[in-house]
């Protein structure tokens, strides 16, 4: 995956912020001249924070639409559709911080399930647990923020999927890794 430049990362943030302000406050979207990378299909997540606390996080783990469209879609969904939070209100916009994570394509961890923790690099990998008709995803930065080791990260990914604790040891549960390039408005 071609990494975005810092300037393209700034464009991604402006695009996400513009989509949120358009949806929540009916402000016009910024006129951005996006580079060709925004036409490539990429996975992306948009995370919203307020006062250092999660305020919304939704994305597309797989490259199903061009990055420019995916950013706007994920930003709008993070602001209005995250079932854990009420929709972002116009009055909150100045207090909300935007983070955009551009994802590599998720790949299954190969080998025996008990060996999975040794194949997870905390701080580099994000995880998806998939099985029993459900799935859950945690971004690479989550394990770092909470100080988790690989086993704890796997456990929490199982919990996020609504799967039993230690489900990552089941051969019927697929664990995938991906990487993310993170851009944030945080100073």
- Report if residue 13 sits inside a domain: yes
**Residue 26 shares a structural domain with residue 85:** yes
Which structural domain range is residue 139 located in?
A: 107-180
- What rounded mean pLDDT belongs to the chain? 96
The predicted-structure confidence for 131-166, as pLDDT tens digits, reads as follows 999 999 999 999 999 999 999 999 999 999 999 989
Write down the pLDDT at residue 80: 97
- Report if residue 186 sits inside a domain: no
H or E, element range at 129: strand 125-131
> Which three-class secondary structure state does DSSP give residue 168?
helix
Residue 186, pLDDT above cutoff 90: no
CA 60 – CA 102 distance, rounded (Å): 10
DSSP designation for 66: B
CATH number of domain containing 145: 3.30.1490.150
Residue 187, pLDDT above cutoff 60: no
Write down the pLDDT at residue 18: 97
pTM across the whole model: 0.93
**Residue 112 shares a structural domain with residue 99:** no
pLDDT band at residue 84 under the 50/70/90 scheme: very high
CATH number of domain containing 97: 3.30.700.20
Return the sign of the alpha-carbon dihedral for residues 173, 138, 183, 46. Answer: positive
pLDDT band at residue 178 under the 50/70/90 scheme: very high
Q: Are 61 and 127 in contact (CB under 8 A)?
A: no
Residue 9, pLDDT above cutoff 90: yes
**Residue 114 shares a structural domain with residue 169:** yes
- Residues of 73-94 as b/e, b for ≥16 C-beta within 10 angstroms? bbbbbbbbebeebeebeeebbe
**Residue 95 shares a structural domain with residue 174:** no
**Residue 161 shares a structural domain with residue 176:** yes
**Residue 147 shares a structural domain with residue 69:** no
What is the count of structural domains for the chain?
Answer: 2
The dihedrals phi and psi of 138, each to the nearest 5 degrees, come to -130, 130
- Report if residue 98 sits inside a domain: yes
Q: Are 111 and 153 in contact (CB under 8 A)?
A: no
**Residue 49 shares a structural domain with residue 95:** yes
């Amino acid at each position: 995956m071609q990494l975005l430049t810092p300037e393209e990362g700034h464009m991604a943030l402006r695009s996400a912020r513009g989509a949120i302000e358009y949806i929540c406050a009916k402000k016009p979207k910024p006129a951005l001249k996006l580079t060709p990378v925004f036409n490539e299909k990429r996975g992306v997540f948009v995370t919203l924070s307020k006062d250092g606390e999660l305020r919304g996080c939704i994305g597309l783990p797989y490259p199903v639409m061009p990055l420019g469209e995916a950013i706007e879609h994920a930003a709008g969904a993070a602001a209005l559709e995250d079932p854990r939070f009420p929709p972002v209100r116009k009055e909150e916009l100045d207090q909300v911080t935007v983070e955009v994570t551009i994802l590599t394509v998720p790949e299954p961890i190969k080998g025996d399930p008990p060996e999975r923790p040794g194949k997870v690099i905390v701080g580099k990998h994000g995880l998806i647990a998939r099985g029993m008709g459900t799935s859950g995803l945690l971004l690479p930065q989550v394990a770092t923020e909470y100080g988790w080791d690989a086993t704890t990260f796997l456990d929490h990914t199982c919990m996020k999927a609504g799967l039993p604790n230690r489900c990552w040891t089941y051969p019927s549960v697929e664990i995938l890794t991906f990487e993310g390039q993170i851009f944030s408005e945080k100073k």
